[in-house]
């Protein structure tokens, strides 16, 4: 498998009133070409922060980033703003949690898709024809009319289709999809997923799929990283995570999944609350909710445990999890 994106100990601290908030800590993972890699975790665990760090879209002067973000072997942190501009949209596309944030309100949606196409020296007329074709591909109702509509004139589902149309028009090597289906009804959700799969199958596009929805993960992902309070606590293939979870948090999540609903289960809540990310000390961040907590967990960061080449987790437990259940 050929490596496309590799995060190496990525940490992001936001500057907040009275100090820093540790939104992402020491996150490392690799996404190979053509792979669908899911990131799951509760609200606020740092998923969007990772996505935004990759494309350097974090609010400026408000954060400290440490670690490396390798894309095709080159560290994006070393890129100038201009070099990064070349990568955005063309090599790495992003579907945002809220498409209204990323669509320009004063241009028609068709124009915004055409703009990207014209960067490849395509004539205006040809670009417009392609926009209509792509709108039909993404099943935009009334494609010609919608291309001439402004973002606020479209429904949430239509706006997501515009975002996906933008992606398809550029055939990026990596598509970052941040909760692409949260606000959508199930039929549209299914269509959008099938478009994402098509992108992968036809163009070998890798996808970083950020979601709360384990059903989606089971359905489309190859690999999964489970995040908790800014850290990846476990990662592996879908099989590793669903059928052989090791980290206590992942195990609780899997237990909480309704029986039939590896196909439709949303992330369940579990007892206790997430630590305040402004007050984090050394030790396991899951310590106050973990049924297996030991003294060492409260003072020492857990190291990485390797289960197989594809599967690893971060915890102080030494294989006694099953016995304690």
Instruction: Please report, in angstroms and rounded to a whole number, the separation of the first and last CA atoms in the chain.
Output: 37
With CB under 5 to 8 Å by kind, the binding choice for 45 among ligand ATP, ligand SF4, Mg ion, none is: ligand ATP
Q: Which of 220, 194, 195, 198 is nearest to 209 (CA)?
A: 220
For the bound state, the minimum distance from the C-beta of residue 240 to Mg ion, rounded and expressed in Å, comes to: 24
Per-residue binder mask for ligand SF4 (CB under 6 A), 278-307, x = binder = ------x-xx--x-xxx--x----x-----
DSSP states along 220-246? H-SEEEEEETTEEEEEEEHHHHHHS--
267 is an interface residue for ligand ATP by CB under 6 A: no
Contact between 178 and 40 under an 8 Å Cβ cutoff? The reply is no
48 is an interface residue for Mg ion by CB under 5 A: yes
Q: Closer to ligand ATP at the Cβ: 97 or 149?
A: 97
Q: What is the CA radius of gyration of the chain?
A: 20
Residues paired with 31 in a beta bridge: 5
Q: Closer to ligand SF4 at the Cβ: 5 or 233?
A: 233
Measured in degrees and rounded to the nearest 5, phi and psi for residue 208 equal -100, 110
21 is an interface residue for ligand ATP by CB under 6 A: yes
Residues 89-118 that bind ligand SF4 (CB under 6 A): none
Contact between 41 and 228 under an 8 Å Cβ cutoff? The reply is yes
248 is an interface residue for ligand SF4 by CB under 6 A: yes
Q: Enumerate binding residues for ligand SF4 (CB under 6 A).
A: 248, 284, 286-287, 290, 292-294, 297, 302, 315-317
Binding site for ligand ATP (CB under 6 A): 14, 16, 21, 23, 41, 43-49, 59, 62, 97, 277
């Amino acid at each position: 498998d050929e490596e496309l994106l590799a995060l190496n100990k990525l940490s992001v601290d936001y500057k907040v009133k009275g100090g820093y908030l540790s939104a992402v800590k020491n996150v490392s993972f690799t996404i190979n070409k053509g792979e669908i890699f899911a990131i799951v975790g509760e609200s606020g665990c740092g998923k969007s922060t990772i996505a935004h760090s990759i494309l350097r879209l974090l609010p400026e002067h408000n954060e400290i980033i440490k670690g490396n973000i390798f894309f095709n072997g080159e560290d994006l942190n070393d890129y100038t703003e201009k070099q990064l501009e070349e990568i955005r949209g063309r090599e790495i596309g992003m579907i945002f949690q809220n498409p209204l944030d990323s669509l320009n309100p004063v241009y028609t949606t068709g124009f915004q898709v055409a703009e990207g196409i014209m960067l490849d020296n395509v004539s205006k007329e040809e670009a417009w024809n392609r926009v209509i074709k792509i709108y039909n591909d993404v099943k935009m109702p009334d494609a010609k009319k919608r291309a001439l509509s402004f973002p606020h004139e479209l429904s949430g589902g239509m706006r997501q289709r515009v975002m996906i149309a933008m992606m398809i028009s550029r055939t990026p090597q990596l598509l970052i999809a941040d909760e692409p289906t949260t606000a959508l009804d199930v039929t549209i959700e299914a269509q959008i997923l099938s478009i994402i799969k098509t992108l992968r199958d036809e163009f070998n596009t890798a996808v970083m799929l950020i979601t709360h929805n384990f059903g989606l993960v089971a359905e489309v992902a190859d690999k999964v990283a489970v995040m908790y309070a800014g850290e990846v606590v476990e990662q592996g293939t879908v099989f590793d995570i669903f059928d052989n979870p090791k980290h206590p948090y992942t195990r609780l999540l899997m237990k909480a999944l309704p029986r039939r609903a590896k196909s439709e289960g949303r992330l369940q809540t579990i007892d206790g609350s997430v630590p305040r990310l402004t007050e984090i000390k050394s030790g396991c961040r899951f310590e106050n909710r973990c049924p297996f907590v030991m003294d060492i967990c409260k003072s020492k960061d857990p190291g990485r445990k390797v289960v197989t080449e594809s599967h690893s987790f971060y915890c102080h437990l030494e294989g006694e999890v099953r016995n304690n259940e």
